[in-house]
Amino acid sequence: MTQSGVHLDFHGPIVMVGFGSIGKGTLPLLERHIAFDRSKFVVIAPDDADRQLLDERQIRFLHLALTKDNYRQILTPLLTSGPGRGMMVNLSVDTSSVDMMALAKELDAFYIDTVVEPWPGLYTNRALSPSQRSNYALRESLLELRRRMPGGVTAVSCCGANPGMVSWMVKQALIDIAADLGIAAERPQSREAWARLMHRAGVKGIHIAERDTQRAREPKPRGKFVNTWSVEGFVSEGLQPAELGWGTHEKSLPPGGNTHAFGCEAAIYLTRPGAGTRVRSWTPTAQAQHGFLVTHNESISIADYFTLREDGKVVYRPTCHYAYHPCDDAVLSLHEMAGAQWRRQETWHILSEHDIVDGIDELGVLLYGHAKNAYWYGSQLSIEETRQLAPYQNATGLQVTSAVLAGIVWMLENPERGIVEADEMDFRRCLEVQRPYLGPVVGHYTDWTPLAGRGELFPEDVDQSDPWQFKNVLVS
């Protein structure tokens, strides 16, 4: 499939909430692949820096911030202006994803977002425990909404690159591994069948393993946070507790590790920020690297999805977490912020396609612990190819916006699925829609383990009996 085809028509009103780097990158993909009525398209955002892109397209713009007090009043008439169902594309920060999704469900409107976001204040609320301000807790609030409002119009939660696309890549990687191990199995048709296949393949865990090598023309100035995607989003998740899905092969909790007293019990958290927690991982270009264990929804949802229970007891679950090496300017920005006791710089900048000289965003999944050791499967999208594929974004952004497009296509093709997570969607269909925007999509086996080269300069406390214990992965 090329980048030029229209996938389907949508005749109802569309409300895009947020018009930052992801919003303005998603818009041209929607124009290219979804036939819609511009007179029914509305963008709402507190920042009007890119308003000219909307004015040129004769798309209505509301320059305001949605709050807990006004969101129902503003969104209700927009989503019900008809004819036909409305659709909310929530690409914002500082708005409650659960509240917005609940409203869309009440109004019988489609809904999609890229993260479970809270109203402002949760991440820094000292009255809440680390458990209560975690992504685990935010996801549990979404699952509670699904229990309260089952079925009905489709609402897709956490459908960006990660979370989102990486859940689809986990399934494709697992199929590749099973085939290479000679495991005869039909494509799983249920959550339990997927968990059984992963268990049978011997996968102990999964890293969402990413290396961003995009390089800016100008050096990062002191006092400014520079990143290739939302600075607000990265800082927020970086200051949350480090979180990971906790596998059944793990022998003991890490230092500062805690379980949650509620919910699905698929994850743990550390009493330290993800932006200050490093882990050992591997991607094809960088090879061995240290990444940040930044909390992400997919770390929990993937571990939960592949949990296998027998007679109500958990018999298998993979460990799962993010292992993120951002662009060099973002690493410098984090070091600078950490030195200031995690106070964010007063100014920030998102690198556009015009700011970047070269580099790729190598984003994929590393499934490890099986008989072939470890397998990385993912996208190696370059800034050069991104410029040819779509406007207004760098490689990092296009991996996200193309996943939003894929999620919207799947949602409109499956209009009565209720609230779903990316793990529950048709991974083949979603990757089919998205793949033209991902650059090279490759699979690589590696013999690397977290024990490689350890103890050569100084003695280290490692578990030699099982290289893939989280104890060996964590950088102490």
Please provide the DSSP assignment of 115-129 as one string: S-PPPTTSTT-TTS-
pLDDT at residue 212 in the model:
98
Q: How many Å apart are CA 283 and CA 173, to the nearest integer? A: 14
- Local confidence pLDDT in tens for the 476 residues of the chain: 345 699 999 999 999 999 999 999 999 999 999 999 999 999 999 999 999 999 999 999 999 999 999 999 999 999 999 899 999 999 999 999 999 999 999 999 999 999 999 999 998 888 999 999 999 999 999 999 999 999 999 999 999 999 999 999 999 999 999 999 999 878 899 999 999 999 999 999 999 999 999 999 999 999 999 999 999 999 999 999 999 999 999 999 999 999 999 999 999 999 999 999 999 999 999 999 999 999 999 999 999 999 999 999 999 999 999 999 999 999 999 999 999 999 999 999 999 999 999 999 999 999 999 999 999 999 999 999 999 999 999 999 999 999 999 999 999 999 999 999 999 999 999 999 999 999 999 999 999 999 999 999 999 999 999 999 999 999 98
Q: How many Å apart are CA 367 and CA 445, to the nearest integer? A: 10
* Residue written as token pair 């019988």: 108
The alpha carbon torsion through 160, 399, 317, 473 (nearest 10 deg) reads -120
Q: How many Å apart are CA 107 and CA 96, to the nearest integer? A: 17
And the tokens for 296? 């992400």
Q: How many Å apart are CA 97 and CA 413, to the nearest integer? A: 22
Question: Which residues touch 358 (CB under 8 Å, ≥6 apart)?
Answer: 214, 215, 382, 383, 384
pLDDT at residue 2 in the model:
43
And the tokens for 73? 């009043």
Q: Whose CA is closest to 299, among 282, 320, 318? A: 320
pTM beyond 0.95: the answer is yes
pLDDT at residue 3 in the model:
56
**Kind plus residue range of the DSSP H or E element containing 230:** none
Under 8 Å between Cβ of 393 and 386: yes
And the tokens for 207? 């890293």
pLDDT at residue 4 in the model:
60
Give, rounded to a whole angstrom, the gap between the first and last alpha carbons of the chain: 46
